[in-house]
Amino acid sequence: MPIPAARRTTATRRWRWNEHKLAALVLVTPALLIIVGLRIVPLVLGAQYSLTGDGDRNGLFVGLANYRTLAADPVFRTAIKNVGLLFLALPIAVAVPGLLATFLFLKVPGHRFYRSVYFFPVVLSPVIIGAIFNILLSFDGPLNQLLGKAGIPPVDWLGNSHIAILSVIGVHIWATFGMALVIFMAGFSTLDQSLLDAARCDGATLPQTVLHVVIPELSRTIQFVFVTTMIGMLTGMFGLVYVMTAGGPGGATYLPEFYIWVTQGQLNSPALASAASMVLFVLMLVVGFAQIRLIKRATKEV
């Protein structure tokens, strides 16, 4: 009686397949609902808002008018100019932790301790960091007093429109270089030890080893750090700006994210804020192009 037996096997398999399919559905659906509902739908809505008007033209299609307003807005132009400064600061924000990670990899005395200390500010909120530096950098604060003792006139770290943005960027780098450091160190731990031994046998000096072995071997890590550091600068500085300067003096420390927040909340122009959001998103995508490739590689393993 081969036929009923075969039928039964198929039935069992179909039942199991269904149970399996149902379970997968139950497991994935809640997460997908949240991600689609709270991230992807708002993104689409935001793109749509950016083409509508504010105030009495609320909801009306205005084409690219918001983008033209942005392009003419001196405050937004400052915000974009400050993004340019972030790009200029990027090599420092990558090179310093890279160099430190190399030292730590070479196991200087106390490397564990240094790693812990350097990473510590990363876990603190930008609000806490901003508050601490608000105290340190205030005009009558400790840093200026110290400078005074050395005979240097006080600097208005947060009140001078040319210096304030540099102060904020500097504090951001100070607070986050530990992050890049541990990523570099994770990269080092995957480095093939035999390559280093071979370099040493060939009599390579330390700078030669770094230049010809370490940097090429770690190119993926370096690329990753560049992208994550830049994205961190584009999207992680709100707290610092909010606490340290509130965008001032005279709008000198605006960044796109701060502009979006002020335009949406204080100025009550959500459509204009949406347009600024889209500009920031495009900036992010340009930077994140490398990240897309990393994600592609990650999904191959699933």
Partner 1 sequence: MRERGIGRWIVAIPMCLLALATIYPMLFTLNVAMKSRREYVLNRFSLADHLTAANIADAWNTTGLGRYTFNSVLVTAGSVALLLLLGSMAGYAFSQLTFRGRKWLFLVCLGALMIPFQVIMVPFFRVLGQIHLLDTYLGLILAYTGQFLPFTIFLMTSFYSRIPAEIVEAARVDGSTTLGVYRRIMLPLGRPALLSVGILNALFCWNDVLISLLVMQSEQHRTLMVGVTALRGQYSDNIPLFAGGVLVAALPVIAIYLFFQRQITDGVTAGSTKG
Check binding of 51 to partner 1 (CB under 8 A). no
- Assess whether the previous peptide bond of 249 is cis (omega < 30° from 0): yes
Using CB under 8 A, which residues numbered 94 to 113 contact partner 1? 100, 103, 105-110, 113
Tell me, by CB under 8 A, how many residues bind partner 1.
Answer: 110
- Given candidates 7, 10, 11, 43, which one binds partner 1 under the rule CB under 8 A? 43
Asked whether the beta carbons of 287 and 227 are under 8 A apart, the reply is yes
Asked whether the beta carbons of 265 and 257 are under 8 A apart, the reply is no
**Smallest distance from partner 1 to CB 2, Å:** 25
Asked whether the beta carbons of 245 and 255 are under 8 A apart, the reply is no
**Smallest distance from partner 1 to CB 178, Å:** 8
**Smallest distance from partner 1 to CB 215, Å:** 15
Q: Which is nearer to partner 1, 8 or 16 (CB)?
A: 16
Contact map string, positions 120 to 149, toward partner 1, x by CB under 8 A = xxxxxxxxx--xxxxxx----xx--xx---
Q: Which is nearer to partner 1, 92 or 206 (CB)?
A: 206
Question: Which stretches within the chain are classed as H helix?
Answer: 2-35, 41-49, 65-72, 74-105, 111-123, 126-137, 142-149, 164-189, 193-201, 206-209, 215-217, 219-235, 238-244, 256-265, 270-300
CA angle 123/126/132 to nearest 5° reads: 100
Using CB under 8 A, which residues numbered 175 to 234 contact partner 1? 178-179, 182-183, 185-187, 190, 193, 196-197, 200, 206, 209, 220-221, 224, 228, 231, 234
Check binding of 41 to partner 1 (CB under 8 A). yes
Q: Which is nearer to partner 1, 67 or 242 (CB)?
A: 242
> In the chain, what are the helix, strand and coil shares in percent, each to the nearest 5?
80, 0, 20
Asked whether the beta carbons of 129 and 175 are under 8 A apart, the reply is yes
Asked whether the beta carbons of 89 and 203 are under 8 A apart, the reply is no
Within 10 Å of residue 32's Cβ, how many Cβ atoms? 11
**Smallest distance from partner 1 to CB 150, Å:** 14
Dist. CA 264–CA 60, nearest whole Å: 18
Check binding of 154 to partner 1 (CB under 8 A). no
Using CB under 8 A, which residues numbered 281 to 300 contact partner 1? 281, 284-285, 288, 291-292, 294-295, 297-299
**Smallest distance from partner 1 to CB 116, Å:** 6
Cα–Cα nearest to 235, from 295, 285, 296:
285
**Smallest distance from partner 1 to CB 81, Å:** 18
**Smallest distance from partner 1 to CB 1, Å:** 27
Check binding of 35 to partner 1 (CB under 8 A). yes
Using CB under 8 A, which residues numbered 265 to 284 contact partner 1? 265, 270, 273-274, 277-278, 280-281, 284
**Smallest distance from partner 1 to CB 237, Å:** 10
Structure token digits, residue 14: 């179909």
Q: Which amino acid makes up residue 225?
A: V
